[in-house]
Structure 1
Amino acid sequence: MVMFDLPVLTKPQRRRATLFRNDLLDLGFEMAQFSVYMKFSGSRPAVDALAYRVQSRIPPEGNVSILSFTDKQYGQMRVFNGGARQERDTSRGQLLLF
């Protein structure tokens, strides 16, 4: 999970923030909220490599946090929409090779 708070007061800052969000999408992240992006990675080395790629794209201003947690911890997350609990889609679009 990548969470960030980037300045957007000037046109160059907005451009850098948009570029960073687009880079996250290009890396396969999905937007959970406007400044929270998530991606599933199957192993710790994959998480470390992905974190390095994200780190190399961080704009010079602002705060970016990268949080990793296990699949089980993610599955235990409680999501609410308007006060009502929302059921999570636990299916993954992973390929199965024989």
Structure 2
Amino acid sequence: MTTTNRLNQYRVMWVLVFFDLPTDTKKDRKIYAQFRKQIMKDGFTMFQFSIYTRCCPSRENAEVHIKRVKSLLPPRGDIGILCITDKQFGNMELFRSTKPIKASPDPQQLQLF
């Protein structure tokens, strides 16, 4: 199997985690910070406030990270997990105010065999 077959736009997946956690009390803020740090430790990067993304080389790898996020869910708040192909992610239109902006380039993925 060649690299282009393994890492094409329909095989590479993006996992998006959306969350809205309470921050009313000091304990809530601590839980919010812990959740955010834990998903960042797992390789997620901030796309927007409370939206984090991670690029995965395959659906199977994406499932591993989705399962890991599910194991980190806090006791309160709203969390959404969405998995889309690289092709779908690439079709996203991004704007800053009314001006279109270019998406950041695909992250470099180091794969060890």
Say which structure, 1 or 2, has more relative contact order (CA 8 Å, 6+ apart): 2
1:18 aligned counterpart, secondary structure: helix
| Residue 45 of structure 2 is aligned to residue 30 of structure 1 | yes
Deviations 1:18-55 (A, max 9, x none): 00000111000010112000000111111111011001
When residues 45 and 91 of structure 1 are mapped into structure 2, their CA distance, relative to the original with a 3 A threshold, is: closer
Q: Distance in 2 between matches of 1:58 and 1:91?
A: 27
How many residue pairs match? The answer is 97
Are 1:75 and 1:90, in contact at CA under 8 Å, matched by a contact in 2? no
State the TM-score, normalized to the length of structure 2: 0.81
When residues 23 and 96 of structure 1 are mapped into structure 2, their CA distance, relative to the original with a 3 A threshold, is: closer
Match of 1:21 among 27, 33, 36: 36
When residues 73 and 15 of structure 1 are mapped into structure 2, their CA distance, relative to the original with a 3 A threshold, is: same
State the TM-score, normalized to the length of structure 1: 0.92
1:62 maps to 77
Sequence identity of aligned pairs in percent?
38
Q: CA deviation at 1:96?
A: 7.2
- Mind listing any 5+ residue stretches in structure 2 that lack a counterpart? 1-15
Q: CA deviation at 1:83?
A: 1.1
Are 1:80 and 1:86, in contact at CA under 8 Å, matched by a contact in 2? yes
Q: Distance in 1 between matches of 2:58 and 2:106?
A: 18
| Residue 58 of structure 2 is aligned to residue 43 of structure 1 | yes
Q: Distance in 1 between matches of 2:32 and 2:68?
A: 16
Q: Following TM superposition, where does structure 1 have runs of at least 4 consecutive aligned residues deviating by more than 2 angstroms?
A: 89-92, 94-97
Greater strand fraction, Structure 1 or Structure 2: 2
| Residue 86 of structure 2 is aligned to residue 71 of structure 1 | yes
